[in-house]
Structure 1
Amino acid sequence: MQNKYEKLFEPVKIGNVTLKNRFVMAPMGPQGLGDSVGGFNQRGIDYYVERAKGGTGLIITGVCFVDNEAEHHSMPSTPCPTINPVHFTRTAREMTERIHAYDAKVFLQLSAGFGRVAPPVDPDLKPVSASEIMNRWVDIPCRALTKEEIHRIVKRFGEGAAIAKNAGFDGIQIHAVHEGYLLDQFAISFFNNRTDEYGGSLENRLRFAREIVEEIKKTCGDDFTVTLRYSLKSFIKDWRVGALPGEVFEEKGRDLPEGIDAAQLLEQYGYDSLDVDVGCYDAWFWNHPPMYQKKGLYIPYARAIKEAVNGPVICAGRMDNPDLALSAIEDGSCDLIGLGRPLLADPDYVNKLRFGQTELIRPCLSCHEGCLGRMVHYGWLNCAVNPSCARERITELKPVLKKKKVLIIGGGVAGCEAARVLSLRGHQPMIYEKTDRLGGNLIPGGTPDFKEDDHALAKWYENTLKDLSVPVYYNTEVTPEMVRKANPDTVIVATGSRPRVFGLGDDSKVFTAEEVLLGTRDPGSRVVVLGGGLVGCELALWLKNNGKEVSIVEAQDGLLKLNGPLCFANISMLLSLIESKGISVYTGSKAIHTTEQGVLIETGAGKEELNADSVVLAVGYDSENRLYDELKYEVRDLYILGDARKVSNIMYAIWDAFEVASNI
């Protein structure tokens, strides 16, 4: 059978390692995947093996530190081969052997440390860096690494690589002349003001990275493959300030000409491949692109590197669209496709693509809620749309002994996820949805072009439930009498939520965000959005992108104050976009009533009238749980899920549904 994506499944070499296809699992922070002695725990092993099982040609682990003296990392932090080499080898060997069983290769990512971008946790320990500069997050000065410390870290890289080689790893990726981590702080003159042989010229600033690859090659042999995570351009406007796409600014970090020169030098030093992106912690929304960045955003930068070096180039960064990935390979922009978050969302992405089942690939939303959001807040790597990510063993679905007829009321994400899991286990679920499509709040939420993957998730549920032969009854509002007549074994109420509304006097021009997003109400050309949470801010951005004059009125003292564990990359980019596009923001303010000209608001400075054709409410949702209350004394096996239970976000609707459906 002809597959249009055959070129993505051609074998390709990195150094002396031959990969079965062009797909690479991009390195992502392995929080929660290591144990207290520096090895991989069972969750970590299962997590990486699952992606190899799913068809990925090369697995690159998340960051593993080689040194714990210059920069202290409390354990369990991430795996570390040099803390207890025997234990590391024991746990890693199990993982590499299992990965190799699926004809995949695996590289260990080794790190010199975070430097100025590490959040300080001990007031008595100064963070380290190339020079005495300020920490990224707080006003604490870093101390400069001594030459003795640099030499020790270089030695540890050689030791760590040798241990990794013995543990079955096929190669090493160095973390990183990328994203402003410690090696990058040495490489970028904005951070490096040293006067010794590790500062000054570009060659001196790259000396640390050069000595690392030379030490590994000396220890493990010239034929042992070493790659480098590399950022071509920094996008730093100033300390802790990043530039937006298309913005004209003076680059304070690494700019393109020096980035290309550095790439050529790094290849000369012995790096077999460059894994390319752009950005820095001061411009974090480049390295960790939220949905507000376009798909394939690194392709032009990968192409610039590809034209300058001889070795293979890896390009990640929202590359989940297979047509985009194919075009990047065909036009020579890169040699390999990096998939990070898409493999969290669907570990079987590569096999599904190989078999032509693109409609069954679960999409990544670029929301960062399950991955970076939970990593920062809870020290744990997960995925919003895939509850099994990094929990593969404990969430393994168990077949049922007795099939149950399960009536699911509501076809939002909670109802759909429950039906999916129940069907996989052998139950007989059926969904009743009052509208003409599945998805619930994904439908209005996915209207802005930058939220296209919300609609893709709704479509994925539709395709998956069809593939599982789950019956879905549309345009059907369930009543208690219908439930009694159906006589199901189990009932799941997933009736969602309704937008919160309140009167403002003349409400003829007061609409809900949902009405505007669905196109049932025309907001006019001048719009005041009440509510500066995620819904309100994204609505305002979308309206502004469509030529509207927009203001946001928020009662809190800032925007995005009452949301879940949003990733800093998403927050900072969304706030920067709101500012750069000239959206007026009134915080610590509330609407009083509508006027003939618009709406009267009360601010900290007094009352002010805003001209507006419409006032759009984005002030939250209330649970729609009336049907549950009517059934709770009649149905013994009754559950309430999603917003109907508690108004939250996509992640917790899916996760709660998975939990309940796994145990019915």
Structure 2
Amino acid sequence: MKYQKLFEPVTIGKLALKNRTSMAPMGPVGYADSFGGFNQRLQDYYVERAKNDVGLIITGICSVDTTIEGFPTVALPCPTTCPVAFIHSTRSMNDRIHAYGSKIFLQLTGGLGRSALPGFIKNNIAPSEQGNRFDPSVIHREMTVEEIQKLIKQFVMSAAIAKKADFDGVEIHAVHEGYLLDQFAISIYNHRTDMFGGSLENRLRVATEIVKGIKKVCGPDFPVSLRYSLKSCMKGLRQGGLPGEDYQEAGRDVEEGIQAAKLLVEAGYDMLNVDAGTYDSWYWNHPPMYFGKGVYNEYARILKQHVNVSIILAGRMDDPEMANAAIGDCCDIVSYGRPLLADPEYVTKIRYGREDEVRPCLGCHDGCLGRIANGPVCCAVNPACGREEIYGLQPALRKKNILVIGGGVGGMEAARVAALRGHKVTLVEKSDRLGGNLIPGGMPEFKHYDHELIRYYERQLELLGVEVKRNTAMTAAEASAFGADEIVVATGSTAIQLPFAGSKTAVSAEDVLMSRVETGSQVVVVGGGLVGCETALWLAQKGKTVTIVEKMPHILGGHGVVPHMNQFMLEDLLNHERVTIHDNAVVEQTAPDQVTVRKGEEQFQIPCDTLICCVGYRANDGLYNELAQGDVPVHNIGDSNKVRNIMAAIWDGYELGRNL
């Protein structure tokens, strides 16, 4: 076996696991039934991972009490809402999971505190009075001692219910990520002067009383894990610290993190599920693609030297060699979060030598946390995530001859799914490479997952026997004469190029990323959307002096257009790399060595060797419009239908391929 350590058995206390792999907890927002139990979609979601060799599943957060903060009753499962209904909905799921030899822990949360999105909860509470993380004008009042004691009791009751439902253990969420329990633990948030504030022991009292209560009620052998952030990685409120950046820690530093971990283990925790960060440095807890692999390895390695309980570790561990080497060095169990959203077969594939078939997580957050406020957790590259049974694939009743025109992600996904269902599929691509806009988009090292996704599709199309014709530009007449029963047009989009007054001609980000154009040392990027900002970051990291000129009031489309953690980190990286940003500004005039920018009534010049235009994309829908007048059914998907993102193109392709 190639990755021997990952697949060795291990124990947590007296609980035996078949291997050292785990599914990391990811919030099941929107997956609760009307009684606070697990709806059928959530049950199927966990079972799908269990049947693919995952040793331990840790569920996403389940509220211990919806009344304290006023959670929406359908937002999260809650064991205490109706214990009998909760047990009925989860015990049958656990029976299924145990049939595959997997174990499962129920993760329990006390709430969000100041980290709640404004409007998500009814009662704005916190350990001490303070402003909301996202909107400081929203004030969270200090919790009463009675409320705190009730919260502790609800944790203990929830664990007892979990044991009755045949969960193998529980995980307490969290002295981690700046959630409510973490706000008690960190002095920058906790200004109390009673038994729950002041000293470190007092600030940890909520967390230590919880585990002591659970052990008393559920017995000493019932495992209790703790989701634990060793370090807060924050420069101040709402200010994250980047990897490698020199700053003064404003939250929990490593020294206090070690001390706190020892106190928590002494109180009774059997395992620490290690990461770093808070909502103020949110990208640390939900690493975007701008992080490298093994985000938390150094922190887990530190803890492993100071505590004698099991360490479980996630954080971009989707490199099997690195994960295998981490066992014994910095952890006992490797945990996979988004990789198991993207590909529920991930563990099976690395176990049996099928690594080239793994569908990669892009780190985009578009399908998971980017949608969490408006819909259940899902995945940009796996449209069936969270709806495994109701949105799976069935063999086609009538096998058809399908022609797919365009080899971007939308076309490749439509071809893959149609072929899986038994259709005969031909995919034609006008260039010599599959991938479309992912090819230039994946050129920066921090976007290498885009190229891994292309390789995944190439391998899938090969395994499924899809005929792929590169260097084949197809006209409407040729497509109509092909003999297809149905035609899928996925011809993508083209970057919009604006003319600028003066002597300088702008180049496209694609030409720069593909090294067709060599930039000078002074670069001006017109357009501060995602493509413009990532191109600017890439060039700045290569030593260029870069300025972004954006006509709107904010780069990246404004707050929340790009998932928060990606937005915050990209903005911080641009600042760290000294990229100058002019918003509410336009380039009015160009000259050989400079551009003139107008911002309101102000006009000024910026040195410029290379001008890059990144103002969006235009759908290539001409071929579809021609074919739509013909006699063969034709479908238009992805950017050639409407310019959006990778997720939209893949979901279009899956939906169409599923129903051809």
Q: Is the TM-score greater than 0.5?
A: yes
Cα distance in 1 for partners of 2:74, 2:441 equals 38
**What is residue 127 of structure 1 aligned with on the other side?**
124
For structure 2, the residue ranges without an aligned partner over 5 or more in a row are none
Q: Is the counterpart of residue 559 in structure 1 residue 555 in structure 2? A: yes
The amino acid across from 1:340 in the alignment is G
The amino acid across from 1:299 in the alignment is N
Specify whether residues 122 and 226 from structure 1 end up closer, same or farther in structure 2 by C-alpha distance, changes over 3 A only: closer
**What is residue 313 of structure 2 aligned with on the other side?**
315
| Secondary structure class of the residue paired with 1:353 | helix
- 478, 481, 488: which one aligns with 1:485: 481
Q: Is contact 2:503-2:592 (8 Å) kept?
A: no
- 86, 89, 103: which one aligns with 2:87: 89
The amino acid across from 2:275 in the alignment is D
Q: Is contact 2:87-2:162 (8 Å) kept?
A: yes
**What is residue 102 of structure 1 aligned with on the other side?**
100
- 331, 342, 345: which one aligns with 1:345: 342
Q: Is contact 1:36-1:77 (8 Å) kept?
A: no
| Secondary structure class of the residue paired with 2:221 | coil
- 256, 259, 271: which one aligns with 1:258: 256
Give per-residue Cα distances to partners, 1:122-164, cap 9 Å, x unaligned.
89x5411111222212222222222222222211112111111
**What is residue 631 of structure 1 aligned with on the other side?**
627
- 364, 369, 373: which one aligns with 2:366: 369
Cα distance in 2 for partners of 1:95, 1:615 equals 57
TM, length-normalised to structure 1: 0.97
The amino acid across from 2:309 in the alignment is G
Within-5 A mapping of 1:412-423: 412-423=408-419
The amino acid across from 1:242 in the alignment is G
Q: CA deviation at 1:509?
A: 4.3
**What is residue 387 of structure 1 aligned with on the other side?**
383
Q: Is contact 2:504-2:592 (8 Å) kept?
A: no
Specify whether residues 635 and 550 from structure 1 end up closer, same or farther in structure 2 by C-alpha distance, changes over 3 A only: farther
More off after superposition, 358-367 vs 598-607: 598-607
**What is residue 73 of structure 1 aligned with on the other side?**
71
Q: Is contact 2:499-2:505 (8 Å) kept?
A: no
The amino acid across from 2:216 in the alignment is K
Q: Is contact 2:191-2:198 (8 Å) kept?
A: yes
**What is residue 304 of structure 1 aligned with on the other side?**
302
The amino acid across from 1:444 in the alignment is P
Cα distance in 2 for partners of 1:155, 1:603 equals 58
Cα distance in 1 for partners of 2:273, 2:558 equals 36
Q: Is the counterpart of residue 404 in structure 1 residue 400 in structure 2? A: yes
The amino acid across from 1:137 in the alignment is F
**What is residue 571 of structure 2 aligned with on the other side?**
575
Specify whether residues 390 and 406 from structure 1 end up closer, same or farther in structure 2 by C-alpha distance, changes over 3 A only: same
For structure 1, the residue ranges without an aligned partner over 5 or more in a row are none
- 523, 526, 540: which one aligns with 1:527: 523
Q: CA deviation at 1:492?
A: 0.5
Cα distance in 2 for partners of 1:629, 1:100 equals 53
Q: CA deviation at 1:481?
A: 2.7
Cα distance in 2 for partners of 1:518, 1:186 equals 50
Give per-residue Cα distances to partners, 1:404-449, cap 9 Å, x unaligned.
0101000000000001100110001111011111111110000011
Q: Is contact 2:553-2:584 (8 Å) kept?
A: yes
The amino acid across from 1:504 in the alignment is F
Cα distance in 2 for partners of 1:295, 1:57 equals 22
Cα distance in 2 for partners of 1:32, 1:103 equals 28
Cα distance in 1 for partners of 2:569, 2:367 equals 18
Specify whether residues 304 and 247 from structure 1 end up closer, same or farther in structure 2 by C-alpha distance, changes over 3 A only: same
Q: CA deviation at 1:506?
A: 5.5
**What is residue 451 of structure 1 aligned with on the other side?**
447
Q: CA deviation at 1:120?
A: 3.6
The amino acid across from 1:276 in the alignment is V
Q: Is contact 1:117-1:180 (8 Å) kept?
A: yes
**What is residue 494 of structure 2 aligned with on the other side?**
498
The amino acid across from 1:600 in the alignment is T
- 267, 272, 275: which one aligns with 2:273: 275
**How many residues are matched?**
659
Within-5 A mapping of 1:26-45: 26-45=24-43
The amino acid across from 1:14 in the alignment is I
- 138, 141, 158: which one aligns with 1:140: 138
Q: CA deviation at 1:379?
A: 3.2
Within-5 A mapping of 1:173-184: 173-184=171-182
Q: Is contact 2:66-2:73 (8 Å) kept?
A: no
**What is residue 351 of structure 2 aligned with on the other side?**
354
Cα distance in 2 for partners of 1:509, 1:480 equals 33
Cα distance in 2 for partners of 1:226, 1:87 equals 23
Q: Is contact 1:491-1:635 (8 Å) kept?
A: no
Cα distance in 2 for partners of 1:507, 1:647 equals 31
Q: CA deviation at 1:326?
A: 1.4
- 155, 158, 161: which one aligns with 1:160: 158
Cα distance in 1 for partners of 2:561, 2:22 equals 28
Within-5 A mapping of 1:188-227: 188-227=186-225
Give per-residue Cα distances to partners, 1:359-396, cap 9 Å, x unaligned.
101000000000011113x1321100000000112211
More off after superposition, 506-515 vs 652-661: 506-515
The amino acid across from 1:557 in the alignment is P
**What is residue 112 of structure 1 aligned with on the other side?**
110
Cα distance in 2 for partners of 1:62, 1:528 equals 44
**What is residue 433 of structure 2 aligned with on the other side?**
437
Q: CA deviation at 1:485?
A: 3.0
The amino acid across from 2:576 in the alignment is S
Q: Is contact 1:126-1:141 (8 Å) kept?
A: no
Cα distance in 1 for partners of 2:400, 2:411 equals 16
The amino acid across from 1:248 in the alignment is D
Specify whether residues 115 and 651 from structure 1 end up closer, same or farther in structure 2 by C-alpha distance, changes over 3 A only: same
Q: Is contact 2:504-2:611 (8 Å) kept?
A: no
Cα distance in 2 for partners of 1:563, 1:539 equals 20
Q: Is contact 2:70-2:123 (8 Å) kept?
A: no
